[in-house]
Each structure stands twice: as structure tokens, then as C-alpha cells.
Structure 1
Amino acid sequence: MKKITIVSPCYNEEDNVEACHETVRAIFERELPGYEREHIFIDNCSSDRTVEILKGIAAQDPSVKIVVNARNFGVFRSTFNGLRHATGDATLVMLPVDLQDPPELLPEFVKLWEQGYEIVAGARSTREETFALRTSRKIFYRLVNALSDFELSPDVGEFQLIDRKVLEAVLKHNDHYPYIRGIIASVGFKRIIIPYTWRARKRGVSKHNLFMLVDQALNAIFAFTKAPMRACTFVGTGIAAASILFALFSVVAYLFGIGVGPRGTTTIIVALFFLSGIQLLFIGMLGEYITSIHNQVRGGPMVIERELVNIGDEGNVEAPPQRIARAKARA
């Protein structure tokens, strides 16, 4: 019997975790009876009753596994670490417990996976969100696609069913801040995209604020393209060339007596602040790369796990591919 793994990150979601579990369980019993279910919840050190509720669910349902982080490591690090515990033949990369991504699509995803597609990606063709946020997303994805070496579908997130071989390729990435949808897009494999409506949250409060969205966007840009630094080089060269041409023009104008007279300070002030702004912008871009490099080479674990529930071999430090192969052999 083939196994399907579902990974669900959560943080202070006591109002949603039980509904998420029941929805997924009902879908498997009703539409996927021939498949084994593995539902991994990754708790990002919740301060409410989320972990208590999850433990109660896991006590009754051995298919539910829980990873409790020592602190909040962010949704991408937490989810990527959760993927390391996945042992299924196919894995739904991220199903947030608020169910804004519809789990009802899972049977269709599995059917397409069985037909030979190694990545079945859900695309949020319709979003129940504000016009400003929807517009910002479109601008971001156009920018990333213009700068990167591969195409990142604008409406595709982490709501994707991926084959075991894709999971192993994804887990080979040693990234301190993994942009998961970008990693999946970069590894290749046969893919199909299924559109769906991204629903508004019914219970609880979203943990994604504007700062987090901007942070994720900058991480995607600086992690998957060198274009920002190349743009700095081109713009700097252009400004330098324009300055030389302006200097030559000024000398010629002086020799021919053109425009001789007191000079105003406006041009100097504008040029000074403009060039200073350009320098600060480029230094900031350079700083983003240096910070990313520093975090990467400093090493250390991506996530520190405080507790594992229904997951064997606690404290296992094997590499992810080895862990997956050993789990498959055990099954």
C-alpha cells in the first residue's frame, strides 16, 4: 500500500488543528481508501493549546506525527525540517491548518501523480484577499522571473504533491533559509499545475504580517538570482560614464565660454543626494548577500526540535535521504 504524507505547519492554531486533521482523515477514508496516510504537524513553539490538542489527536491516531520546535523558526524552516520526517511515496509539501488551501484537491493530485506526474502543483488562480496584496504578489513574481534562471509560476505556492525522488532532490539543498517553492521549481521533473481558489481564513488570525511577506520576497530574490549585484555593476558603470561625459562637456563649454557664470548649488545638492542614495542602495544589496553567506557558512541546525511524537528514532541525525531510504526499507 502506497503512503501519502501531508505536512502541516502551525503556530497558535488551537482553533484549526482538529478541523484540519478531521478533514484530511475523512478525505482518505472516503476518497483514498487504498492509500496509507501520514500526517505530520510541525508546531513552531505555540503558546496556546495547539500542542496539547495535537497530542490528544496523536494518542488516538497513530498516523498523526508531531514535531515540536524549541522556538519559532519561521514557516519555511519549520516546513522544510518537517519534510525530513516524511516517509511517504508522495508528499503534500504544505497544507496549512487554516485550510485556505483546499485539501479536497488531494484525491485529484494523487490521481495525476499516479498518471506519471512527479510534481502536481496547486495554483491560486483566485484569491480571496485585498486588491493591494494581490497586485503586490503579481509585481513580485514578475520581478523574480525576470531576474532568475528558471520560471517561478506566479500563483504556485507550497501546496504541491511531490514524488519521493523530487523530495530527495529538494532535501539535498543545504539552505539556512529555504524558499521551498523556488527549490521545487529549480529541481525540474515533470509537472502539472491545477488551479484552485485560495479561500479566506475562517478561524483564528493569520501570522503573516507585512514584514514577514517582505522578508520572504527578499529571500527569494537574493537566493535564486545574482541579478541585483549585476544591476549594481551596470548602473554604477552607467553613472561613471555619464559623469565622465558631463565633465568633458563642462571643459568644452568653459573653453568656448558657454554658460560661464556663477553656478547654483541645486545641481550639486541633487547630484550628491542622488549618488549617495544609489551607493546606499547598492551597499544594502551587497549586505543582503553577505548576511546570507554569513548565515550559511556559520552552520548550525536549521531547526532545533524540542519533542517528537509518534516519530521513531528520536534524536536521529542521519542525512535526510538516508532516513527516507531506511524508513522505506522498514516499511
Structure 2
Amino acid sequence: MSLDLEQNHKTISIVSPCYNEEDNVANCYETVKAIFEEKLPGYRCEHIFVDNASSDRTVEILREIAEKDQNVKVVVNARNFGVFRSAFNGLRYAEGDAVVVILPVDLQDPPDMIPEFVQLWESGYDVVAGARTTREEGIVMRAARGIFYTIVNRLSDVWLEPSVGEFQLIDRKVLNAVLSHNDHYPYIRGIIASCGFRRIIVPYVWRARKRGVSKHNLMALTDQALNAIFSFTRAPMRFCTLSGLVIAISCILFSLISVVFYFFNPDLAPRGTTTIIVALFFLSGIQMLFIGMLGEYITSIHNQVRGGPIVTEQERINIEGPARDPAIVKDEHLA
């Protein structure tokens, strides 16, 4: 498929977070460049790489690429702030008419889908979301993802398509709406879903990584899942409320039944310390669980109200001026 629009001159921005990806960044850049030259000749590609303080040659390679191509922008963070914070900060530098939110440099999300995304965007869709209908991953991860999305979608006001990640092309007005969120830990796919707009989902096969090692370990994925649950659902607090109500009613019923058994048949009434110990440890465990949930919310609120930049940048290449201020973006979105 080729979109021959020589007089179009529109810009498509692509954000690619990376961390210790010296084996992949050059291939990612070359692949995307070739796709635009062959299938999107009428569009300018603005490729924004956001590096999370890599300790290998990733930054050096990106610096060489940016020196040869002014359409390549590089943001180097002072430390590893995680893929979501880094990508969200990278979006603030995007100047395109449309933006590919995250294209991972390992190309597990296929860049050859971008021409189709652009074509659908030009036809009137504001959000073109890639859906990983087939994943080249293990059954354990697939089951864990299914459980996570079941929890979020049943207890949230926002529907998250289980197979849709951050590999999405969004219109400029959608980007402004996304950037108007001043969130200390942005769950980007959830923010895009909460914004609304006209959307279409395009299925594709999520590929296995060919080079390097994935940085998304179990702890990182768990942290992202908890962030999504506490940010976009009332599930934890609703669980606390309902569980407390059920436990209270059960205790009252247990007490009444015990009294009735005592009067009619004292031998059937439970006695001894076993019942007390079991009840004590059970209720103590429930209290600790609820306190932990409250702590998650308090920590999130504390981080939000404390303020500060979403990331700390060490270096910017081919970028003039600061990132777009969320307050200004919010005013532009409401205008």
C-alpha cells in the first residue's frame, strides 16, 4: 500500500522509548525511514527517541543518527523513569499532525502497519489503535493479562480493549487532550481511551523480540497493572467497602446463631480459643489488606500533589525550546 501524496506535507511523529537497546535503535530508525520513503512519500517523519539513561552505546548511536538526520529528535533522561513517563514526556515534543504514541525500538509492534494507520486517519478516524490479536508469548503472561483487563473493565468507567496497547496513531487534537492530563504516572492507553474521539481498531500480530533482552520484567508489569487499577477504577476501595460489609454481617449472624444454639443445645455452640484465634488472624489480615490499599491511594495522591517534573532530562538533541507545558496544552485543548 502506498499513499502518493507529494503535495501533502503533513508530519507524522513517532515516539520510541529505549533503554540499553544498542542492538535495535539503528535498525528501528532505518526501518521506519524506509517505510516512509517507500509507502508514505508525501509525509515528513519526525522520529523522537526517548532514552532512559542507557548504560550501553544507545545514546552514542542515537547521537550519530540525529547528526545526519534533523528529523530525528533525542531526549536523554537523567535516570530510568520507566517507559510510560518517558514516552509521555516524549509526546510533549511531538509537532506532527498525527502521532504514533509508542513504537518500541525492538519492533515487536510492526512499523509496517503505520501506512495503514495513516490511511485510516486520513479517512476521518481520530484514533487508529493497533490490536494485538495474536501474541507470540507464553500462556502465563496471556492469562495474567486476561485477569488484569477483566478487573479493570468490570470496575471502571473507561473500557480498555484487552488487545490494544500504546501502538496507536492519534490525531493532533487527541494528543492535546492527552497532554492536558497532568499525571505523575501516566497510564497512556487508559488516558487515550478516557478522552474518547472516533476510533478504529486494526488487528496485527505482536512479534517476538529478535535482538536484545526485554526490559519489561514481572515486577515492572505488576507495577504498571497496579497503577492502572488504582488510576482508572474504584475497584480497591469498592472491594474494601463490600468486604467490610460482608464481614460485619457475617459476624453478627455468627453471634446470633451462636446464642440460639447455646439456648437450644449448648453442646453445639463453638467454644475454646480456636475460634477466637482464627477470627483474630482473619480480621487482622483483612485490616492489613485494606490499610495497604489505602496506602496505595495516599502514595499516589502524595506524589501527585508534591509536583515536580515527570522526568528529569539530561540532554536534548535536535530540539529547540522546552517541552510543551501541560497548562498551556490544556488551554489549547479547551479553546
TM range (shorter): over 0.9
CA distance in 2, matches of 1:325, 1:287: 33
CA distance in 1, matches of 2:148, 2:273: 38
The answer to whether the aligner puts 1:43 opposite 2:44 as a matched pair is: no
Counterpart position of 2:149: 141
Q: Structure 1 residue 247: deviation in Å? A: 1.2
2:181 counterpart letter in structure 1:
H
Q: Secondary structure at the match of 1:42?
A: strand
The counterpart of 2:325, out of the listed 302, 319, 322, is 319
Contiguous gaps of at least 5 residues in structure 1: 327-331
Counterpart position of 1:329: none
CA distance in 1, matches of 2:85, 2:291: 27
CA distance in 2, matches of 1:278, 1:324: 41
Q: Structure 1 residue 324: deviation in Å? A: 11
- Which structure 2 residues correspond to residues 1-331 of structure 1 after superposition, within 5 A? 1-259=9-267, 263-313=271-321, 316=322, 318-320=324-326, 322=328
Show CA shifts across 1:117-146 (max 9, x none): 000000100011111111111111111101
Closer, same or farther in 2 for the Cα pair 1:164/1:318, shift >3 Å? Answer: closer
Closer, same or farther in 2 for the Cα pair 1:126/1:318, shift >3 Å? Answer: closer
Q: Structure 1 residue 234: deviation in Å? A: 1.2
Runs of 4+ more than 3 Å apart = 320-326
CA distance in 1, matches of 2:306, 2:270: 56
Q: Structure 1 residue 259: deviation in Å? A: 2.4
May I ask how many residue pairs the two structures share in their alignment?
324
Show CA shifts across 1:278-331 (max 9, x none): 111111111111110011011111111111100112xx26525747999xxxxx
CA distance in 1, matches of 2:114, 2:18: 19
CA distance in 2, matches of 1:158, 1:243: 46
CA distance in 2, matches of 1:261, 1:139: 41
CA distance in 2, matches of 1:243, 1:325: 53
CA distance in 1, matches of 2:237, 2:32: 45
2:209 counterpart letter in structure 1:
R
| Higher mean C-alpha deviation, range 279-288 or range 86-95 | 279-288
Closer, same or farther in 2 for the Cα pair 1:50/1:260, shift >3 Å? Answer: closer
CA distance in 1, matches of 2:329, 2:241: 44
TM-score by length of 2: 0.93
CA distance in 1, matches of 2:197, 2:318: 32
Contact 1:118–1:190 (8 Å) recurs in 2: yes
Closer, same or farther in 2 for the Cα pair 1:323/1:40, shift >3 Å? Answer: farther
Q: Secondary structure at the match of 1:259?
A: helix
CA distance in 2, matches of 1:243, 1:323: 53
Identity %: 71
CA distance in 1, matches of 2:265, 2:144: 52
1:84 counterpart letter in structure 2:
R
Contact 1:171–1:321 (8 Å) recurs in 2: no
